A and B are shown apart, each in its own frame.
Chain A
Amino acid sequence: MHKKQLMKGNEAVVRSAILAGCRGFYGYPITPASEITETAAELMPKVGGVFLQAESEVAAINMLYGASSAGVRVMTSSSGPGISLMQEGISYMAGAELPCVIADISRGGPGLGNLGSEQSDYHQVVKGGGNGSYRTIVLAPYSAQEMADLTAWAFELADKYRNPVFLLADGFVGQMMEPVEFTNAAVEPKVPDWAVAGTKESRGNLITSLHMDNDELEAHLKKLEAKYMQAEREEVRSESYFADDAEIVLVGYGIVARILKAVTVAARAAGINVGLLRPITLYPFPTKEFERLRKRAKVFVVVEMSNGQLIEDVRLAVNGARPVEFHNRQGGNVPTHDELMALVNRLAKKLAEDKLFTDAELHVKETLAKVAAEEERLAHV
């Protein structure tokens, strides 16, 4: 048991990374992720690691490509616009099977957007913004403690799958100070056998994402796909909070999930049967958990600080079996406790009146109504 210390999630990330054996940080400052870069600048040289502020995010991610090729556990951090610039290198790293950890402390977009907290990087991070058939593993912390814990896990996953792993947090989770304890044991950095480390042993090694022969590239892609399938089997994580017997299942990640917890407690206190399902891995997505919960749940409610990005994965997971409602705030605004309580009350009322339907049910209803209307018309002809 280690003592808890008050610190920002952004500061916790770097400490946890160093304990996890990370000895390289190459980054470019951007609000609201800059504390990560600054903390790395302070700490990396003290632990025998390398810190370098790159000339751009493009250079930074390619420095990760280099350090990772050399067999170093390495990370960077950025936010929306910077992540966009890094997509090229992320695609190359996934293609060349290079591990790295990228912390995206997301902000308002598109373009320069603003500095407020949004979750609008979901698509570019979870679906991959770079070219080619690849995936990145995405972990979504919702507290300073999870910023530390999931960072340590991210390095394990990155090495296990030889693939980039994202830590996707919103500005609030990065900026928020909470008590943090570092439970992970310090990991001794070691050079993997595939690395190009400038040694006799590693002389024959090659890092490349290029496979000119069609069959060779197809075989490589199948190998990548097999890794992603394995991650989908082995790495899914989510938190179910009063969701097991809930009729209304709220869905959100990051800061939204914190608010939804408060809403869940308040709604339960008011006698409404509400629960929360919080995906912790956004890829692989906790599809099975949705399949389990949808047996009891009557409606899923996705709350996000983006324009309907998370909801796409929720709809796929629910697969039309239940209605999926949506509530969002954008531009740096946060869904408030009051507006969410109002939403929950409204849905509870609709449930009681049996007025919530899936798209398919609505379609059937509309069709039946049309048929009835046509019959009515013909009867009067």
Chain B
Amino acid sequence: MDATAVKHDRGKMCVDENECKGCGLCMEACPPKVIAMSDHLNHYGYKTAEYCGEGCTGCGICFMVCPEPGAITVMRLKAKAAAAVSGSGLEGANA
């Protein structure tokens, strides 16, 4: 999870590797298609979904379609940080 990136997307999603079973529904559902299947297996032997690292809008659809209660967490950029992003002229990069 790269929190130090200069570019701030509107949203971020992260996948808890201990809960994800790799069904792929989040990848199918994600509008900007920023979720991919990882190469390695988790504790249970499932491949897990992972965030590609950029482009998340924070819409929450991946969370909604995920069958596991806590496998996905979705975050949104706070208003103050969003203003800073806006000032940097990078808005719309996630669209």
In the complex they form, do A and B come into direct contact, defined as C-beta atoms under 8 angstroms apart? no
Q: Report which B residues bind A (CB closer than 8 A).
A: none
